[in-house]
Amino acid sequence: MYTNKIINEEIFNFISKKGRSCFYEKGQIINMDTEKQSFIYALIDGYMFVKQLSCQGKELIIKIMNPGHFFLLDISDYESINYQYFALAKTDCRLVKLVKETFSKAIGDNKMLKEKWEEYIYNQVNKKNLIIRDFTLFGKKGTLYSTLIRLVNTCSVPKEHGYKILLKLSHEELSQICGTTREFISRNMNQLKKDGIISYDSVDHCIIVKNITFLRNYIHCESCPLHYCELS
């Protein structure tokens, strides 16, 4: 399950060493209005959502970033596309940011760093392909179940009767991860609670997945490596 680890130590350490520290309060956004050039960010503390906004105004959460992870916000092609990527601080966050051109030059000059970046891209592609498979083959309900499994692997701790997802997520936020409606999420989360598959922590109301085997069986889980079965 989830451990607070660095996703790719060599790249994360390079960004942390060469970049500039910054702090974002809960609810702050990193986008075209706040940044005038492209950066790669390493997350030191907190949780961030990487979001995609369509020209119709629909928001999707495409990544949940934990401490030890990094992400790129590239604004260079913004004028030629009809959607925008941005990051939202789900909690207070401390990051280090490095100009994209500086990072790109380092990859070109450093063989080891280039290999690690290629490894990271390869893993990201495989992860995305598996998410697309789950979301395509098993319908809306399978999409929700896959998301709950990936949340357990992304940000949870073991409990006596399951896994507690550390990040409090609203049904609206779950719908933005799943690409469906809040009403569908609410109806199915209530059913999962009624069936004893999930519950909610009595103190902070975070989700507790009590029967992850049920969710895995529904989507024919193949027990992929954990770094493929995350939302980061």
Q: Say yes or no: 90 and 135 in one domain.
A: no
Pair 206, 137 in one domain: yes
Q: What are phi and psi of 130, to 5 degrees?
A: -70, -35
Please say whether the beta carbons of 53 and 133 come within 8 A: no
User: Within a domain: residue 123?
Assistant: no
Residue 76 belongs to a domain? yes
Mean of the per-residue pLDDT values for the chain? 88
pLDDT for the residue 3: 44
For 63, list phi and psi in degrees, rounded to 5.
-150, 145
Report whether pLDDT(177) > 70: yes
> 43 in a domain, yes or no?
yes
- Look at the chain and report how many structural domains it folds into: 2
- Residue 187 Ramachandran class (φ > 0 left, ψ -120 to 50 alpha, else beta): alpha
The set of residues, in sequence order, having a beta carbon less than 8 Å from that of 184 and lying 6+ positions away, is 140, 144, 175
Percent of the chain having pLDDT more than 90?
Answer: 60
Q: From CA 145, how far away is CA 125, in angstroms rounded?
A: 21
Q: Is residue 125 part of a domain?
A: no
Domain interval for residue 91: 9-109
Which run of H or of E encompasses 177? helix 171-178
Beta pairing partners, 97:
20, 41
Which residue carries 């760093």 as its tokens? 113
Enter the pTM of the model: 0.87
Domain annotation covers residue 226: no
Count of helices and strands (H, E) across the chain: 7, 12
Does residue 200 surpass a pLDDT of 50? yes
Q: Is residue 154 part of a domain?
A: yes
The whole-angstrom separation of Cα 212 and Cα 40 is 34
Q: Is the domain of 91 the same as that of 60?
A: yes
pLDDT at position 2 over 50: no
Residue 224 lies in a domain: no
Query: Domain end: 46, 79, 109, which one?
Result: 109
Q: 151 and 90, same structural domain? A: no
Residues 38 and 102 in one domain: yes
- Residue 114 falls within a domain, yes or no? no
Q: Is the pLDDT of residue 15 over 50?
A: yes
Q: Which of 27, 3, 41 is nearest to 230 (CA)?
A: 3
Comparing 35 with 88, the larger pLDDT belongs to 88
